Amino acid sequence: MNNRLLAGSFGEIWNQVKSWTKNFLGGYGLVIAKALVVFVLGLLVISVIKKLVKKSSTKSRKIDNSAASFITSIVALVAYLVLLVILIASLGFSTAGIIAAFSSVMLAVALGLQNTLASLANGILLIFTKPFKAGDFVDIGGTCGTVKEIKLFGVKLVTGDNLTVVIPNNTVFGSTIINYSKMPVRRLDIVLSVSYDSDVDKVKEIVTEYVAKDERIKKDPAPFFRLTEYGASSLNFTLRVWTDVGDFWNVRFDLLEGFLKLFAENSIEIPYDQLEVRVRKADGEVQQ
């Protein structure tokens, strides 16, 4: 008797479970299950799209690595928003109403994040105008460094002393940008001062010969070296030479050190400021 009652109880419970499962699968459960499938498939599709976009952008000769990263981020953001709309629609909500509500929310967010959105818009402009690319050495509003990446909202620089600086894109577009790596060749200017007692022709001769021996200095355009100013205590010569961007600083430092030795070997005086002090005693005598 007890076994029959126990079996009947289990049978009743099992029937209730089957009934609940059937109702669940036939109602919201099936909708939720579909939404989960859409979500998982959506993430997989977005992952594939990101890889394809990044791969295509990286291989493109017209797009540098920093721009490729930026484009991939934009595509991923749009894809996630589309997936969100699809998920909401799969749950049975009105897409039109959701889009209207979403637009209202985005408008409120846009008003509160004007500077951030301006950085995003300027980031897109940076990609198309290309004032610099990853690897370029630039000066942006007084901050110098090598461009590592152009992100959604800012440009990442690494300075000469190995500091990482992120400048907002709207600040970048509002600043003067100097790209030292854009052109393959740069002009190097050096001012050399000698005393008024120096032989001008000799100075021009030894400097011209010294510069001609440096293979890093371009022959075309030809080096320029002339007397350009009568200073307060010196004759000032201007040297202008052209060299590859990668050799610019080494050439400058080597020339400055070389000219010091060159002038010393040829007994050419380099003037420097001197201070003469005179002390007048009470009796009027002057002592130096």
Strand order of the sheet with strand 154-158?
164-168, 154-158, 143-150, 137-140, 177-179
pLDDT of residue 165: 94
Neighbours of 153 (CB within 10 A): 18
DSSP 8-class letter at 135:
T
Does residue 167 sit in the same domain as residue 197? no
DSSP 8-class letter at 246:
G
User: Domain residues for 45?
Assistant: 14-112
d(CA 220, CA 214): 13
The pLDDT of residue 92 is above 70: no
Does residue 38 sit in the same domain as residue 64? yes
The pLDDT of residue 104 is above 60: yes
Within-domain flag for 95 = yes
Within-domain flag for 90 = yes
Does residue 49 sit in the same domain as residue 31? yes
- Identify the CATH number of the domain in which residue 20 sits: 1.10.287.1260
Average pLDDT, the chain: 80
Does residue 154 sit in the same domain as residue 73? no
**Domain total of the chain:** 3
Average pLDDT over residues 84-102: 68
Within-domain flag for 67 = yes
Amino acid 140 reads I
More confident: 181 or 1: 181
32: which 2 tokens?
């939720």
pLDDT of residue 277: 67
More confident: 237 or 72: 237
Closest CA relative to residue 239, chosen from 176, 251, 247, 173: 251
List CB contacts of 208: < 8 A, sequence separation 6 or more.
223, 225
The pLDDT of residue 9 is above 60: no
Where among 179, 204, 234 does a domain terminate?
179
Average pLDDT over residues 11-40: 65
Within-domain flag for 238 = yes
Within-domain flag for 5 = no
- Identify the CATH number of the domain in which residue 216 sits: 3.30.70.100
List CB contacts of 254: < 8 A, sequence separation 6 or more.
214
Within-domain flag for 8 = no
Q: Which of 105-109, 127-131, 194-198, 254-258 has the lowest mean pLDDT?
A: 105-109
Within-domain flag for 123 = no
Does residue 37 sit in the same domain as residue 104? yes
More confident: 23 or 33: 33
Within-domain flag for 252 = yes
Closest CA relative to residue 210, chosen from 186, 235, 239: 239
Average pLDDT over residues 56-85: 72
